[in-house]
Amino acid sequence: GRDSPAIDIVLVGNHLNTAYLIRLVEKAEKLIHRRIRYLILSPEEAKQLLKENRSVLIWKKTT
């Protein structure tokens, strides 16, 4: 991909711990010297967004 000053991440789930996520994002930003922009979506919202945009699946929890 293109080298840019920001990294965009979409997280999909219904019960994410946002306080923990914010701490992790802040820590990662300091380590990599880049801004991390994140978006939290429900599975239903993600289906629509991912149909319309190119994406790379990094991890998926299987049950």
* CB contact burial 10-38 (16+ within 10 A = b; e otherwise): bebeeeeeeeeeeeebeeeeeeeeeeeee
pTM of the model: 0.74
pLDDT tens, position by position, 17-45: 999 999 999 999 999 999 999 999 999 99
Rounded average pLDDT over 47-54? 82
